[in-house]
Structure 1
């Protein structure tokens, strides 16, 4: 069923972007994420013994598809998690290429729950992701620094793909608010969610109509992967990186 759905979504987005039809019905259709034909072992919701951690519900959750795998066309993509309120003070993000650590950093946790994001640095310290290679990432809430077996852990996968001329043309034809739609229909999860997240965090509260449109797109994108429970969670701006 995935391949017919992908063909339908791609043909639909091509027609709507070409004709400029942006009705409310089209918005719902276009915001749907179409997953690639694969999945990998991972953990979208935090698992562990929770030793030393007092947590509120819902638990630590990676904002990724249920297949635990997502695609990006960026050299240095951004990753997102819902972080619950907890008495833990730090979290750890690690990106692996097989047994090789590509990037590792410790993050100060906020005192309130919300959506936290981590971007791979573009300052030259982290090489661009290699096209076609699978990278595994881990994000853990550190409950006890002296006994990491109690970490609350999520893990997933990212693969960078080349930006196709067809998708590049579509992205150039539409305003920023519609680019996430093009990414979603092409199965490019990390860029679909990052595009909307950036716009939602930069939009002014006075821009009532654009903000409402962004909220609808955000809600529909998360709902398409079963994460609608986190649609109304606030963003945690500028997480504090302790080391990298």
Structure 2
């Protein structure tokens, strides 16, 4: 009788121990920053390099430290598997200005067709915008997006413009299987980033953001390293990302004290 009772107690203890270990492992894994962006294996150059259209540094008020910047690859074309992707950019000005989001579709001829123009209001820091449900993107198609900061609506020449190309691709079967196993934003962002899906990785990272963990800044660090090459265009873009990361980290630190 005593031997039987001992076995029952041992089973219960072992069961609780296993459950506790699984819980601890899940918590540790869920709180670990995993995202690391790796470009697509079949990197494709962008059709348009919009960053070069920002002819001056700073914002509308002449802030020399940071510039209106699309948070997307410039050396290669970023990818997404979403029909309604999220786009992100950085606004340097604390004062709010009218802002336009524009989306273009590349035609077979290479020309661009404007398919969406949305009026927004700028907000200092990292801004993001997700396409509305009535504007689905098509897999296999290339698009171009722009953000136009209207410093003075009466003087179009004063506007700041930035943007990037993006390719919409089908979800790889292996990635779909892995995504089905987790709802943890940090893990999902890592899966997207490892698969070379910049827009999906960044979008997921932004949803996981809190004052202690800025997963999107880690992705931007990866992007800055990738863009920091001898090509004058991408080096210039990389030099715009790094001050943004520094400012956002400083702001994050100030929230903690």
Assess, with a 3 A threshold, how the Cα gap between structure 1 residues 199 and 49 changes in structure 2: closer, same or farther: closer
Residue 189 of structure 1, CA deviation: 0.2
Structure 2 residue 221 is the aligned partner of structure 1 residue 223: yes
Q: Deviations over 1:91-119 (max 9, x none)?
A: 11100113322210111123xx2111111
2:18 is aligned to: none
The unaligned stretches of length 5 or more in structure 2 are 1-24, 107-111, 225-240, 253-257
The unaligned stretches of length 5 or more in structure 1 are 1-19, 204-210, 236-244
C-alpha distance in 1 between matches for 2:129 and 2:179: 24
Residue 66 of structure 1, CA deviation: 3.2
1:106 is aligned to: 119
Residue 228 of structure 1, CA deviation: 4.6
- When the two chains are superposed, the root-mean-square deviation of aligned CA atoms in Å is 2.9
Q: Matched residue of 1:81: which SS?
A: strand
Structure 1 residues 96-105 or 223-232, which shifts more?
A: 223-232
Q: Which runs of structure 1 show a deviation greater than 6 angstroms over 4 or more consecutive aligned residues?
A: 20-24
Q: Deviations over 1:192-238 (max 9, x none)?
A: 000010121xx5xxxxxxx64x43x3332111011354345379xxx
Q: Deviations over 1:51-102 (max 9, x none)?
A: x931323011111123262111111111001101165621111001133222
Q: How many pairs were matched up?
A: 196
C-alpha distance in 2 between matches for 1:219 and 1:45: 23
Q: Matched residue of 1:220: which SS?
A: helix
Structure 2 residue 119 is the aligned partner of structure 1 residue 115: no
Structure 2 residue 205 is the aligned partner of structure 1 residue 196: yes
- Return the structure number with greater helix share: 2
Q: Matched residue of 2:147: which SS?
A: strand
Q: Matched residue of 2:205: which SS?
A: helix
Q: Matched residue of 1:117: which SS?
A: strand
C-alpha distance in 1 between matches for 2:168 and 2:27: 29
Structure 2 residue 172 is the aligned partner of structure 1 residue 168: no
TM score, norm. by length of structure 1: 0.70
Q: Matched residue of 2:89: which SS?
A: strand
2:50 is aligned to: 43
Assess, with a 3 A threshold, how the Cα gap between structure 1 residues 119 and 55 changes in structure 2: closer, same or farther: farther
**Equivalence map 1:62-77=2 (5 Å):** 62-67=70-75, 69-77=77-85
Is 1:55–1:86's contact at 8 Å kept on the other side of the alignment? no
2:37 is aligned to: 33
1:83 is aligned to: 91
1:139 is aligned to: 147
C-alpha distance in 2 between matches for 1:22 and 1:121: 34
Q: Which has the higher contact order (CA 8 A, sep 6+)?
A: 1
C-alpha distance in 2 between matches for 1:75 and 1:198: 18
C-alpha distance in 1 between matches for 2:194 and 2:28: 17
Residue 43 of structure 1, CA deviation: 2.9
Instruction: Select 2:191's aligned residue among 171, 182, 196.
Output: 182
